[in-house]
C-alpha cells in the first residue's frame, strides 16, 4: 500500500472530533511526529476561545510562495467509522473526505519541497467543523502571507472552485404593545412588524423553496432561520426577533447590505444588528497562477477541469484579500455521513498535481 495512504489511515484512526481537546492533541502530535522532520519548522498557536492552530513549513518566518490550509477536526461519528477500511478504490471512514486525506497530501508535498528553492507552509486548524475560531484568530493576527494558497477543502479532482459567498448573520428586533389576543386592536403586534420587514427584504432577496431553484446559484440569498416572540399564546406580542442568514456574491458588499437593511427596518419601526460577518472568496480562474495550476491538473488527469462557484463559505477567506487561492480537492462522497469515503486514486493524483505545481514555480 502506498505510504501516503498508510499515513492517512493512521491519522483517520484518531478520534479528533471538534471540541475533544485530548484527541485533537493526539492528532497534532501525530502530525508533528510524522512530518516534523529535520528541515521542517513547526509553530503552534493557542488563542482564547479557539482550538490549537499548527503551521509546518520548510523555512523560517511566515511569508510563503505557497501555503496550504486544512483542518484535522471531524464531526462526531460511530466508533466503527474511526476504523478505516478500503473497498476497491474507496477509503471509508470519518475524515477521509473531510479532510484528513487532503491535509496529509499537503504534508507529503511539504516534505517534497525540502531542499527546493520555494517557501512552502501547511497551516492546520482544529475547530473548522464548529466555530472556525482558530482561523478567525489567525486572520485577526495577520501573521501569515502567501503568494498562492492551496485550499483542498473545496472542489474535487475534476472541479476547481472559483468563488465562495460572503456569509452574514443578522438579527432583526421589533417592538410593539401588549394586549389580550382576543382584542388585537388594542395592541401593536411586533411579529407583524417583523413579517412586514422580511417581506420588504424579499423584494431584494427573493424567497426560494424546494423546486424553485434559480437559473444560476451565484446570486445573493436570504433565509429566515429563526422567528421568536417570548410571549404566551393569548397575548399580542410586544417584542419579537428574527434571525436572517445572508450569502452574498461580490456584487453586494456588507455596506450595501446594511443600507438595504436600514431602509427596511426604518419602514416598519424595527432595528437590526449584524451578528456575524465573515468574508467571501472571489477569485478569477483566468488568473495566471490558477491557469498554470489548471494546465498541470488537466495534463496529469487527462481530463478537463471544470470551474464552479460555491454557495457556502471557506476557511481560505484568511487570504482572500492578499493571495491567489486555488480551491481544488479529491473525489469522494457522503461527507459527514456514515458512509463517508475518499477515492484513493484521486488522493494520489492530487499529490502528483501539487508536486508538479511546486516544480512549475521553481
CATH number (domain holding residue 221): 3.30.70.360
Q: What's the grid cell of residue 247?
A: 450569502
55 and 44 share one domain: yes
SS3 label, residue 139:
helix
Q: Per DSSP, what are the bridge partners of residue 314?
A: none
130 and 205 share one domain: no
Closest CA to 66 of 341, 316, 333, 348: 316
pLDDT of residue 30: 99
Instruction: State the CATH number of the domain containing residue 33.
Output: 3.40.630.10
Q: Which residue has the cell 516544480?
A: 359
Q: Which of 249, 277, 305 is the last residue of a domain?
A: 277
Q: Which of 277, 298, 327 is the last residue of a domain?
A: 277
Q: What's the grid cell of residue 205?
A: 432577496
pLDDT of residue 232: 79
Domain encompassing residue 319: 3-164+281-360
pLDDT of residue 295: 99
305 secondary structure, DSSP code: P
265 and 215 share one domain: yes
122 and 211 share one domain: no
pLDDT in tens, the chain (362 residues): 899 999 999 999 999 999 999 999 999 999 999 999 999 999 999 999 999 999 999 999 999 999 999 999 999 999 999 999 999 999 999 999 999 999 999 999 999 999 999 999 999 999 999 989 999 999 999 999 999 999 999 999 999 999 999 999 999 999 999 999 999 999 999 999 999 999 999 999 999 999 999 999 999 999 999 999 988 789 999 999 999 999 999 999 999 999 999 999 999 999 999 999 989 999 999 999 999 999 999 999 999 999 999 998 889 988 999 999 999 999 999 999 999 999 999 999 999 999 999 999 99
132 and 256 share one domain: no
157 and 296 share one domain: yes
120 and 170 share one domain: no
136 and 90 share one domain: yes
Q: Which residue has the cell 426560494?
A: 208
Count of structural domains within the chain = 2
**Taking the CB of residue 35, how many other CB atoms lie within 10 A of it?**
18
285 and 245 share one domain: no
235 and 132 share one domain: no
Tell me the CA distances in angstroms from 350 to 148, 192, 335, one per residue in order.
17, 53, 18
pLDDT of residue 26: 99
141 and 40 share one domain: yes
209 and 100 share one domain: no
Q: Which of 227, 249, 277 is the last residue of a domain?
A: 277
Residue-by-residue DSSP string for 191-241:
HHHHHHHHHHHTTTS----TT---S-S-S-EEEEEEEE--S-TTEE-SEEE
Amino acid at each position: 500500500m502506498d505510504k501516503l495512504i498508510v499515513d492517512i489511515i493512521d491519522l483517520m484512526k484518531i478520534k479528533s472530533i471538534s471540541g475533544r481537546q485530548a484527541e485533537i492533541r493526539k492528532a497534532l502530535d501525530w502530525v508533528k511526529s510524522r512530518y516534523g522532520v529535520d528541515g521542517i519548522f513547526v509553530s503552534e498557536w493557542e488563542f482564547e476561545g479557539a482550538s490549537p492552530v499548527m503551521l509546518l513549513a520548510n523555512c523560517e518566518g511566515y511569508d510563503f510562495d505557497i501555503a496550504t490550509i486544512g483542518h484535522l477536526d471531524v464531526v462526531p461519528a460511530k466508533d466503527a467509522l474511526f476504523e478505516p477500511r478500503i473497498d476497491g478504490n474507496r477509503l471509508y471512514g470519518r475524515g477521509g473526505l473531510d479532510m484528513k486525506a487532503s491535509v496529509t497530501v499537503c504534508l507529503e508535498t511539504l516534505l517534497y519541497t525540502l531542499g527546493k528553492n520555494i517557501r512552502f507552509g501547511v497551516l492546520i486548524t482544529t475547530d473548522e467543523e464548529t466555530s472556525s475560531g482558530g482561523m478567525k484568530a489567525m486572520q485577526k493576527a495577520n501573521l501569515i502571507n502567501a503568494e498562492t494558497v492551496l485550499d483542498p477543502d473545496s472542489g474535487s479532482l475534476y472541479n476547481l472552485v472559483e468563488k465562495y459567498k460572503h456569509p452574514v448573520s443578522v438579527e432583526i428586533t421589533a417592538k410593539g404593545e401588549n394586549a389580550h389576543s382576543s382584542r388585537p386592536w388594542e395592541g401593536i403586534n411586533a411579529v407583524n412588524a417583523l413579517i412586514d420587514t422580511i417581506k420588504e427584504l424579499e423584494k431584494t432577496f427573493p424567497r426560494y423553496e424546494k423546486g424553485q431553484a434559480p437559473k444560476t446559484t451565484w446570486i445573493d440569498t436570504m433565509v429566515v432561520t429563526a422567528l421568536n416572540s417570548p410571549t404566551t399564546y393569548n397575548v399580542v406580542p410586544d417584542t419579537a426577533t428574527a434571525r436572517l442568514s445572508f450569502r452574498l456574491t461580490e456584487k453586494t458588499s456588507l455596506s450595501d447590505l446594511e443600507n438595504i437593511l436600514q431602509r427596511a427596518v426604518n419602514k416598519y419601526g424595527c432595528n437590526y444588528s449584524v451578528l456575524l460577518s465573515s468574508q467571501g472568496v472571489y477569485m478569477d480562474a483566468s488568473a495566471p497562477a490558477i491557469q498554470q495550476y489548471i494546465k498541470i491538473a488537466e495534463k496529469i488527469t487527462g481530463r478537463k477541469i471544470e470551474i464552479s462557484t460555491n454557495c457556502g463559505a471557506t476557511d481560505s477567506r484568511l487570504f482572500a484579500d492578499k493571495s491567489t487561492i486555488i480551491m481544488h480537492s479529491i473525489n469522494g462522497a457522503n461527507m459527514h455521513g456514515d458512509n463517508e469515503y475518499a477515492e484513493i486514486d484521486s488522493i494520489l493524483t492530487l499529490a502528483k498535481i501539487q508536486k508538479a505545481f511546486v516544480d512549475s514555480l521553481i
